[in-house]
């Protein structure tokens, strides 16, 4: 006996099977200060320190600078960005600056260690103008009390060399306000297609920037309870993002009940230098 197959039915069956295996997913998960925060410390800083010198004199020093945190947690300044330093409320200097440092630690209490080097020109009104060279050293942690400040782990240290004098000392009591919008909130957008194995992209979105990542992984669930285990790795090639290189994490996606969309996520790794584990 000879059995004949209809090729059209074979084609329809194969197409249906392929569609079942190949699923397009576009998911966004939002987080805040109380729910797995990620602290992107990028932004404009403007604050005043009260620098106590060895002779006991206190000099108010007002500073401003822009800072960016990258995918590895490294901190950078902006070349040729002009900001200002005011000493003792009556001497102003226009300055440019460089920043080096890093953000590390757990997501609930990350620490920032950085150095800002300033150079510029200015002085007091009515007096000859001159150059300034100054350095600010910061060793601080994001305040755990919700005040949105950097609290000193060690006293903030500042030194400025002026044409006729030097200001050198520390501030033991002040805090540094975080830039507007920096509150630990962020979102993660995942876009991936699956056909046996998963490939796609992810975007870490904070208040000031979008960082790109690549996704690779496998389907680990069932038809009723879909689940994916994904490896997220920072990339410089994701459209409309800045480089996320330095961020790495394992992402587990699942459904909370049968026949529902993927709505549960856990992440274990380092994003922007900070340890994320939930």
Are 195 and 247 in a shared domain? Answer: yes
pLDDT tens for residues 230-251?
Answer: 999 999 999 999 999 999 999 9
pLDDT recorded at residue 88: 87
Among 104, 95, 49, which Cα is nearest to 75's? 104
Among 76, 101, 72, 74, which Cα is nearest to 246's? 72
pLDDT recorded at residue 11: 36
Domain, as residue range, for 169:
43-177
Contact 101/139 with Cβ under 8 angstroms? no
Picking from 177, 205, 232, the residue at the C-terminal end of a domain is 177
Are 164 and 50 in a shared domain? Answer: yes
**3-state class of 90 per DSSP?**
coil
DSSP string, 40-63: ---EEEEEEEEEE-TTS-EEEEEE
Are 220 and 190 in a shared domain? Answer: yes
pLDDT, mean over the chain: 89
Structure tokens at 92: 């102003």
Question: Would you give the DSSP letter of residue 165?
Answer: -
Contact 45/67 with Cβ under 8 angstroms? yes
pLDDT tens for residues 9-65?
Answer: 333 333 333 333 446 689 999 999 888 999 999 999 999 999 999 999 999 999 999
CA distance 181 to 110: 17
Picking from 150, 177, 204, the residue at the C-terminal end of a domain is 177
Question: Would you give the DSSP letter of residue 192?
Answer: E
pLDDT recorded at residue 192: 87
Q: What pairs with residue 238 in β-bridges?
A: none
Are 224 and 99 in a shared domain? Answer: no
Q: Give this prediction's pTM.
A: 0.87
């Amino acid at each position: 006996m000879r059995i004949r197959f209809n090729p059209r039915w074979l084609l329809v069956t194969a197409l249906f099977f392929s569609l079942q295996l190949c699923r397009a997913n576009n998911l966004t998960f939002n987080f805040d200060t109380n729910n797995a925060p990620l602290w992107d410390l990028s932004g404009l800083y403007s604050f005043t320190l009260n620098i106590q010198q060895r002779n006991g004199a206190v000099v108010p020093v007002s500073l401003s600078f822009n800072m960016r945190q990258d995918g590895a947690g490294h901190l950078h300044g902006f070349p040729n960005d002009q900001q200002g330093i005011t000493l003792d409320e009556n001497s102003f200097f226009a300055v440019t600056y460089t920043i080096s440092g890093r953000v590390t630690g757990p997501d609930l209490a990350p620490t920032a260690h950085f150095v800002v080097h300033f150079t510029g020109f200015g002085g007091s009104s009515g007096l000859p103008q001159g150059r300034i060279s100054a350095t600010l050293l910061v060793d601080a942690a994001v305040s755990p009390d919700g005040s949105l400040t950097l609290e000193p782990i060690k006293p903030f240290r500042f030194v400025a060399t002026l044409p006729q004098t030097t200001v050198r000392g520390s501030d033991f009591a002040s805090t540094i306000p975080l830039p507007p919008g920096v509150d630990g909130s962020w979102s993660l957008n995942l876009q991936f297609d699956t056909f046996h194995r998963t490939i796609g992209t992810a975007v870490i979105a904070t208040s000031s920037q979008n960082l790109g990542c690549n996704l690779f992984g496998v389907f680990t669930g069932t038809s009723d309870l879909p689940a994916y285990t994904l490896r997220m790795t920072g990339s410089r090639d994701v459209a409309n993002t800045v480089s996320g290189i330095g961020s790495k994490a394992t992402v587990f996606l699942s459904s909370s009940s049968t026949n529902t969309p993927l709505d549960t996520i856990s992440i274990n790794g380092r994003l922007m230098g900070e340890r994320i584990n939930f």
